[in-house]
Structure formats: C-alpha cells, structure tokens
Amino acid sequence: MKHMLKVFTVLISTLFILQGCKIKRAAPSDSIPQHETFTINSEKLNEKRVINVWVPKDYTKSTDSLTVVYMPDGGIQEDFPHVANTLKKLIKDKKIEPVILVGIENIQRRKDLTPKTEVEDDKKVAPIVGGSSDFRDFINDELFPEIEKRFRTKNYKAIIGESLAGLFITETFLESPQMFDVYIAIDPSLWWNNQYSVKTAKQNLEKLSSKPIKYWFAASDAGDINRNTVQFENILKTTNLPQLKWFYSNEAKETHATIYRATEEKALIWGLGK
C-alpha cells in the first residue's frame, strides 16, 4: 500500500510539472500593451518566427540606447503581456532604467526549449525534443542582429523565462554564458535529462570567463524542480566565482502556475535595478 501511494504521488507530481511544459497562455486579466510585431525567416530553424517588441513610452523622444530583455514564451497569448506590463510599472516607478522587451512566440515550445535527452520519459513530452542548441543559434545569429538593426540597443542583454524556458536559460548560462549579461530562470525544469544541467554545472561554471554576469533563479513548491534548484544553489555556494553575482529565491508558498507573476518584479529589479 505504501509503495502504491508513493508511485501515485510521483505520477501526480510528474503530471503537474509536465503541465507547465505546455504552450503558455496569457491570463484574461493581462492587458495587451502597445507593441510591434514582425517575422523573421529563420535559416537556423527553417521556419518563420513571430517576434513581439515592446518599447517604453518615451523611446521615440530620446536618442538613448537601451538594454534589451529577451524572453521565450513571448507570444501575445503567452507571457509577453504581463512581463511588458511589469517592466512598464518598474520604469514608471524608477526602479529600473528604460529597457526594450523582445518576445519570441512559440511554435514548438518543447522542441525549442529542451536540450537533447537520454531519458525515454522526457522524449514522450512532445513529438520532437532536444532543439535548444538550434534555438540558441537562432537567437544569437539571427534575432540579435535584427533587433540591433531595428532599435537603439546597448551591448547589454537580459533573458527571463519560466519552467522549460527557465531550463533553456540555465543551460544557456552554463554553456553559452557570453550571450547575456543577466539571466533570470523562474522554476527551471532542471529535472530534464536526469538532472544533466545540475550534474554538469560545476565543470561548466569553472569555464566562465572574467566577464561580469548575473544569474537569478527561483523555485516553487513543485518537488522535482525545488530539489534540483536547491542542489544547484549548493553548487554555486561552493564554487568561487568572483565575476558571478547570483541569487536564489525559494518560493515554497508559490505553485508552478503562480510563481512567474509572483516573482518577476523582484527578479527584474535585482537583475536590472539602478
């Protein structure tokens, strides 16, 4: 009986976490901010990608170049509206400098945001998984130049995302840290591929260049996520990295469904604050 109860608990936990892997939808209360939308014909991904861009209200009245915040799950029916509205509020309250937000709308979320995996259960979450390397190349080689051509940008970039997007952000932080200056990974799915990102973290961290970098991460009450973020925190604590500023926020009172909106404001202030 105890064994059956344990199996049932694990199954429920796994189903709950996988629910967060689905394409994300904006809550009905999220007002849609004024924004620009364009498409990129990606050679890296062999598909057209929809890009949404929000700029602060005084952008056209200024000649200043701005930091750019990139986000997966960046569709109008995904997380773009509430992140843009949060940035608007923080800028109005003078808690951060004006920034540009660039949202990448999903096509095959579970393909783009996951690394390759040897775990059979991971491979069942979507028809195709393991495309994060190609997605990263798209951002670096095609999206960055397009944004820099269209907008006044500083050579300073941030990225924010939750769940599988948090996994992608953490993988990028560990394997291609030069891409961004600020990484914000909310409830990252570090269970992927038998905790590969956690197990290889120390060796990747030891390869960090001397470039200053920030990494902020948080976990909800989702067991498989929380356990792995705590392990990752312990690795960061025991690795001497003077060029890295990091912060872990254990949000045990939040669920996988609530943690993004609950933490994005303090995460963005920490990463981009004055």
pLDDT in tens, the chain (274 residues): 444 444 334 444 444 444 444 445 555 578 999 999 999 999 999 999 999 999 999 999 999 999 999 999 999 999 999 999 999 999 999 999 999 999 999 999 999 999 999 999 999 989 999 999 999 999 999 999 999 999 999 999 999 999 999 999 999 999 999 999 999 999 999 999 999 999 999 999 999 999 999 999 999 999 999 999 999 999 999 999 999 999 999 999 999 999 999 999 999 999 999 7
Query: Which pair of structure tokens corresponds to residue 83?
Result: 């992140």
Using CA of residue 170, residue 174, residue 10, residue 250, what is the dihedral sign? negative
Residue 274 has a pLDDT of 74
Stated length of the chain: 274
Phi–psi pair at 55, nearest 5 degrees? -125, 150
Residue 27 has a pLDDT of 57
CA distances for 11 relative to 15, 164, 264, angstroms: 6, 19, 29
Q: 160 - beta bridge partners?
A: 184
Amino acid of residue 135? F
**Cα separation, 42 vs 62, whole angstroms:** 31
The domains located in the chain, with CATH, are 2-272 (3.40.50.1820)
Q: 40 - beta bridge partners?
A: 49
Assess contact for 137 and 46: CB atoms under 8 A. no
Residue 97 has a pLDDT of 98
